Structure 1
């Protein structure tokens, strides 16, 4: 059982952590004014509405409303409890965590937590078998022959699942995992009699992690390339694994992706691992043949440049071309890293060495149009006039998509030189093609304009508050940031109308008393005593564009607006009753209501 984390340790982690460093592991942040902005990691958006205030150590999304301190961020993005998030943040900052504070995840928790623990335990078992037992000897030899040393094997937590049918099954049954959970885990298959057996047998096991580094699935590779069974066997989708949202090696590559401002997309897991061994550590691989919208959105929070590095053989070139035709998301620019001599990245690294591969990935990036023109050339005999015209026609349909006049001129010159045709003739053909395409442009433009308008509306919608709630928001802000305002409100027995503001105010008074705080409140620390909804609200308040000082008249007006709100509600109610009395012709009731209205208005005016 883990010991409750004391406040002293939470304070230490808070004081030694910069929220910008933590959030930057998940979001590409850019400075704008005094805060930093990026795409929100909690919902999809095109216009950045996610803000981090470094001076207050808080975050807030103006679109979805989430907000809080660094612990709340980790709780939200990694679905962790508060104690787990404290430990996670501490580990990110290399702050030693005493063993007695380590949170232990029990199998009796939610399904997702159970599965995460199961996959973690399974990975440890497979790793032990590979590195520490005779059963793993052949698999270890296979990996070593592919230049994967033990350090790299341990970095990627690679293991081996032996040929036993029920090794893992018995392992978890010995830990009292229920039959229902075993079936949900994806670690087991079922025979015709409904009996479970290990899904992965006699395979090198490559763990697949989520963005936070939790193992959520496996990819098992056969040792014998001539085997009749599938070369790779991947885990099925579960409550913790969605292949359309997962990118292999993203958790390891995030830091390098941000620093290099690009990500390299490989075809296979072994290519990613080999590239990592060669010092190219910003590589990922998708779980399918193309990137999904979810995967692209995840990458868009880290970089705006995607470089495709698939195999150099004919199928790899075809796959690269398909990828480029599908990668049309305007949040990115794209490049192609072509592997020479029809090799795959792993083969190239082993034959040419790490330094050459690094040079290729750093200095050998082609533009998509350059790759596509070379791809077209593969399909035509350019000594044949018919093929020449077909190649020219296809090339022009790609060049016409370019926006930069310099790029257009450069590739027109290239095609003209290769075809032995004048630039003038090609430019005339381009002009004709532009006019043909312009006929279809209005419909496309209208669609694009609609989408841009929708993006602008959805990203800039801000809630509208009536006079009462505006007064509450501003008054609470000043009470949080100026001790004399909260002391005045407390002494006056003041009450907010909306319960959410009152809860924050009550917690503020308790926080000040318990911590003997008299001057400036540490907003990030104060958030730890609030529930999630109130953290969101407090982050919203603290992100308001407010002046440095208040004036007394302003405070008096806010208090007056809030105190008089009940009288204003009474006036609205009396007016509604007056209308009903007039409709039924009840003169006596109208007279009584009019007297009440005059009386309430007199009280309000005083």
Structure 2
């Protein structure tokens, strides 16, 4: 039975953790001023508005408003409770977690998503046990070992085996009282014509698919019998926890290496990713379909700006690579191609040439997209034939004209000139002519550019505008948090904020200071946040990220206090002015005189 995590352990984890190290596992951060910035992991954006303050150990997104400390980040990012987040952060920092603090969640939780996550985790454990520990799993284990997958790699990827049994998994969950509704929602089962459920995966090697946080959310089952008429791979259908357009296979394992190497390798299949991992190339992922979606590209853009495509070297693989390059047009990325020689797939190449050669290929054999495309075009033409030469030239120029770098343009013009045995000048004249044609045909506005500018405008202009009262409250609370004399003064005078969210944070601040005996010391913002609700954490992070001077003046503090105290009078002033307008509209002179006198009295009080 897990016990409650004591404050001493939380304090130890907090003191030994740098929020930048944790967030850098998920977001590509760059220094700008005293803080670090990156693309927000909680919403899509083109311009980085996600900020991390290392000195305060907090984060805040100026666009979507989320903010907090390292535990709040993990809770939001990985859908964890606070105790689970503390343990996760401790494990990231190699801090020993006593067994009694481990969050052992033996029972299924209430929400459908949590139940499905637990079901997939349990199913993976069952499939793994059958593969590694039972006679039923022997043929599948033999198949994997024939592909040079040793036990440690099998365990790293959680690979298992679903035996040829219609009801094994179904009975497993029925014994655990999982409802019929959840069983149907899970995607683990199909139904026959009578509406009866049966195991979706049978007689297949089971490869778990995880989300970015490492939670198992789906399976891909590979058939053992190559001669079978059924599909080679069977993937889970989409569910509440699995969206194939958002998911990248192996991203959880590859994140760190992607950041360190500065690029991600996009493979065609899951087994290619696993084989590459075995060969020491651990920055590989695979999509759930033939091309990357905008959502998958956004996830990758937080980690790197370089995508290298490494598909099979046979004719279908080359065709797939060409299609991928025509679809990968997102300007946030630079693209490359890793071509596998001798028409092999990555797994075949690794097994025949060895891991070192494959590592060398992925590090040193990256082609530019244009180099691959020109070679692709050349495959389709006989360059000894004049008609084919002109067709090849026309297609090649359509690609070269897209290049921006004069050096690249000159390089590839030279290559085409050498292929066709003509002068570079002649090809450059053709290129100039093509540019002029495209300028004439170019529409007044490029829709994609307009969309992008609109998005950037939206995400960069969401800073809220506050009236005089709320500005005063925000600044006053900021100074009260950072200077003990201000909070002592406010507390001693019985000061109250008008807006409840600011008052709530102030009350929590006084309670925190009293518990920690910190009246004369600086507040640890990250630690203080643990006492607040999620909304108040967001607000506190926003306040702490304000661009404020290092010192305050007594006059500005007095002005803020007076603005808050007089806010009720200002409300009265607005109400009287509104009543005066109505009295004038109906011609009630007596009421106008009365209201005018009230107006004068309230203004006199305010001026004093």
TM-score, normalized by length of structure 1? 0.98
Give 2:595's aligned residue. Answer: 593
Name the CA distance, whole Å, in 1 between partners of 2:606 and 2:492: 23
> Cα distance, 1:306 vs. partner?
0.2
1:473-484 → structure 2 map (5 Å cutoff): 473-484=474-485
Moved over 3 A (4+): 444-447
Deviation at 1:458, TM superposition (A): 2.7
Q: Residue in 2 aligned with 1:571? A: 573
Where in structure 2 are the equivalents of 1:62-81 lying within 5 Å?
62-81=62-81
Find the counterpart in structure 2 of residue 10 from structure 1. 10
Find the residue that maps to 2:208 and give its secondary structure: strand
Residue by residue, what CA displacement relative to the aligned partner does 1:487-529 show, whole Å, maximum 9, x if unpaired?
A: 0000011011111111110111111111212210000011111
Give the CA deviation at 1:450: 6.1
- For residues 207-286 of structure 1, the aligned pairs below 5 Å read 207-286=208-287
Contact kept? 1:123, 1:157, Cα under 8 Å = yes
1: CA distance, partners of 2:288 / 2:12: 40
Q: Equivalent residue of 1:461, what SS?
A: coil
Distance in 2 (alpha carbons) for counterparts of 1:225 and 1:136: 17
| Alpha-carbon shift at residue 176 of structure 1 (Å) | 1.4
Match for residue 414 of structure 2?
413
SS in 1 for 2:444: helix
Contact 1:87/1:97 (<8 A) preserved: yes
Contact 2:46–2:455, Cα closer than 8 Å, also in 1: no
Q: CA deviation at 1:445?
A: 4.5
The offset of 1:98, in angstroms, is 2.1
Measured in 1, the distance between the counterparts of 2:303 and 2:271 equals 23
**Which region of structure 1 is more displaced relative to structure 2, 129-138 or 480-489?**
129-138
Aligned residue pair count: 606
8 Å CA contact retained: 2:75, 2:81: yes
Name the SS for the 1:494 alignment partner: coil
1:295 match: 296
Q: 1 CA distance for matches of 2:210 and 2:235?
A: 13
Q: Deviations over 1:210-237 (max 9, x none)?
A: 0000000000001111111110011111
| Corresponding residue of 1:553 | 555
* SS of alignment partner, residue 448 of structure 1: helix
Q: CA–CA distance in 2 between the matches of 1:147 and 1:272?
A: 14
d(CA) in 1 for partners of 2:344, 2:455: 45
* Alpha carbons of structure 1 residues 362 and 81: separation in structure 2 relative to 1, 3 Å: same
Q: Quote the residue 2:59 is aligned against.
A: 59
Moved more, 427-436 or 443-452: 443-452
**Larger displacement relative to structure 2 (57-66 or 85-94):** 85-94
Does the CA-based 8 Å contact 1:309-1:339 persist in structure 2? yes
State the alpha-carbon separation in 2 of the partners of residues 218 and 447 from structure 1. Answer: 36
CA gap 1:530/1:85 in 2 versus in 1, 3 angstroms: same
Where 2:409 maps in the other structure, the secondary structure is helix
Task: Give structure 1 stretches of 5+ with no counterpart.
Answer: none
Give deviations 1:418-469, integer Å, cap 9, x for gaps. 1001001000000000000001224345762563254134323311111111
Q: Which residue number corresponds to residue 328 of structure 1?
A: 329
Task: Please list, as runs of the form range in 1=range in 2, the aligned pairs for 1:310-321 lying within 5 A after superposition.
Answer: 310-321=311-322
Match of 2:55, SS?
coil
Instruction: Write out per-residue CA displacement over residues 277-332 of structure 1, whole angstroms, 9 at most, x where no aligned residue.
Output: 00000000000000000000000000000000000000000000000000000000
Check whether the contact 1:47–1:456 (CA below 8 A) recurs between aligned residues: no
State the SS of the aligned residue for 2:536. Answer: helix
Cα distance in 1 between the residues matched to 2:597 and 2:146:
97
Listed as ranges, the matches of 1:111-510 within 5 Å are 111-445=112-446, 448=449, 451-452=452-453, 454-510=455-511
Provide the secondary structure at the position in 2 that maps to 1:175. Answer: coil
Matches within 5 A, 1:10-29: 10-29=10-29
8 Å CA contact retained: 1:208, 1:248: yes
Q: Name the structure 2 match of 1:582.
A: 584
CA distance, structure 1, for counterparts of residue 480 and residue 327 of structure 2 = 53
Give yes or no for contact 1:564–1:604 (8 Å, CA) kept in 2.
yes
**Which residue is 1:525 aligned to?**
527
Aligned-partner Cα distance in 1 for 2:433–2:517:
77
Q: For 1:587 and 1:443, how far apart are their aligned partners in 2? A: 60
Between the aligned partners of 2:310 and 2:503, the Cα distance in structure 1 is: 56
Output one character per residue of 1:465-495: Cα deviation in whole Å (capped at 9) or x when no partner.
Answer: 1111111111100000000000000001101
Query: Matches of 1:425 and 1:536 in 2, distance apart?
Result: 62
Partner Cα distance (1:216, 1:99) in 2: 27
Structure 2 Cα separation of the partners of residues 266 and 602 of structure 1: 75
2:99 pairs with 1:99: yes
How far 1:99 moved relative to its partner?
A: 2.4
What is the rounded CA distance, in whole Å, between the counterparts of 1:331 and 1:395 in structure 2? 24
For residue 205 of structure 1, report the CA deviation from its aligned partner: 0.5
What is the CA distance between 1:2 and its match in structure 2? 3.0
Shift of 1:104: 3.3
Deviation at 1:26, TM superposition (A): 0.8
Alpha carbons 1:45, 1:459 under 8 Å: kept: no
Q: Which residue of 2 aligns with 1:604?
A: 606
Q: 1:576 to 1:237 in 2, by over 3 A?
A: same
C-alpha distance in structure 2 between counterparts of 1:292 and 1:121, whole Å: 30
Q: Which residue of 2 aligns with 1:36?
A: 36
Distance in 1 (CA, whole Å) between partners of 2:573 and 2:445 is 54
Cα RMSD over matched residues?
1.2
State the distance in 2 between where 1:398 and 1:316 align. 21
Give the conservation status (yes or no) of the 8 Å contact 1:381–1:388. Answer: yes
Is the counterpart of residue 85 in structure 1 residue 85 in structure 2? yes
2:196 & 2:518 partners in 1: Cα distance? 63
Question: Is the 1:67–1:536 Cα contact (8 Å) retained in structure 2?
Answer: yes
SS of residue paired to 2:217: strand
